Amino acid sequence: MEYRKLGNTNIDVSLICLGSMTWGEQNTQNEAFEQMDYAIDQGVNFFDTAELYAIPPCAETYGKTEEIIGNWFVSRGQRKKIILTSKVVGPGEDWLPHIRKGTSRLDRKTIESALNDSLKRLQTDYIDLYQLHWPDRKTNFFGHLGYNHEADDNPIPIEETLEALNDMVKAGKVRNIGLSNETPWGVMEFLKVSENKNWPRIVSVQNPYSLLNRSFEVGLAEIAVREQTGLLAYSPLGFGVLSGKYLNHQKPHGARISKWPDYDRYINAQAISATEQYVNLAQTHNLDPAQMALAYINSRPFLTSNIIGATTMQQLKSNIASVDLTLSDEVLDGIETIHVQHPNPSP
């Protein structure tokens, strides 16, 4: 396993981060335990979760994933070996009525409540990296490219959010803070406020990044390198699309898009066309398409860690093994050729 520094800290995190959002919905607790046991044996020391999980979000599974991880900590006694992340949800009045009655905002009250509840579920007294799951303000994330300012946008001030996080760090409940689904402006604004107030800096940005969505490169990649706010790449396989398993109108039993067709971010016509070419490129070079897609992300200089998710042990083993794959110049050139033809078909 390869390890990289988490931001400007002295913490080494594994290049592969174990994602958990299927645990409690597509995966049972026993299956999740098996995944965590295997991952740690392979040198993975970085686990990612969120209060929102399991996915798709609903009242019945809210917080279930954190509970499973907490039970694993108690069962295995491995808490000190794991760099653990979790997240507090942003505003979700229209689609998350089960979380704090749809009133969640990134203010002090919400952050304190959400963090304390997560700590209870996780059965730990600290979280190594606590992230804002998405911005409090209205901006372009979750598949939106263009920004249109809304007159009724009345976000919680970033200073208020950071002050609450600072107090959580001072209390020892949080060791580091990060952002997710964030824009270049947002990252720089958080960094500016933290510098002016001498509060903890953002150490990471968890955004989507895959062969179908390389928008992180446009503005955030330079920030990641110069400001030491490295990418934690989520959806690196585009909901599994880049494995090729959905091509030719296939609907594998139990797979996410088969179960929930509304998760269509990565299966528009352009994305399918690009995926066909990426799969053909991999097969031409005797590579597994999913491993090729992950290995590309692993090689990016602005990456801190690649968050993989799996519903089967076979998928998990293959995904973790991507750390051992180095892509040839010919394959990298082929990827760039396809990207020029199909730039970011799934923003």
- Reading the block at residue 39, the tokens are 């991952």
Output 254-263 pairs: Cβ under 8 A, ≥24 positions apart: 254/26, 254/311, 255/311, 256/22, 256/26, 256/311, 259/26, 260/56, 263/56, 263/239
Question: Residue 136's beta-bridge partner residues?
Answer: none
Integer CA distances (angstroms), 198 to 46, 159, 191, 192, 193, in order: 27, 12, 10, 10, 8
Q: Which of 53, 130, 209, 234 is catalytic?
A: 53
Q: Could you say which DSSP state residue 55 is in? A: S
For the chain, the first-to-last Cα distance in angstroms comes to 30
Annotated catalytic residue 53? yes
Determine the distance from the C-alpha atom of residue 157 to the mean position of all C-alpha atoms in its chain, rounded to a whole number.
Answer: 24
Q: Smallest Cα–Cα separation from 135: which of 120, 147, 122, 127?
A: 147
Q: Smallest Cα–Cα separation from 62: which of 50, 73, 72, 74?
A: 50
Integer CA distances (angstroms), 123 to 49, 231, 324, in order: 14, 27, 34
- Reading the block at residue 202, the tokens are 């953002």
Active-site residues: which are they?
53
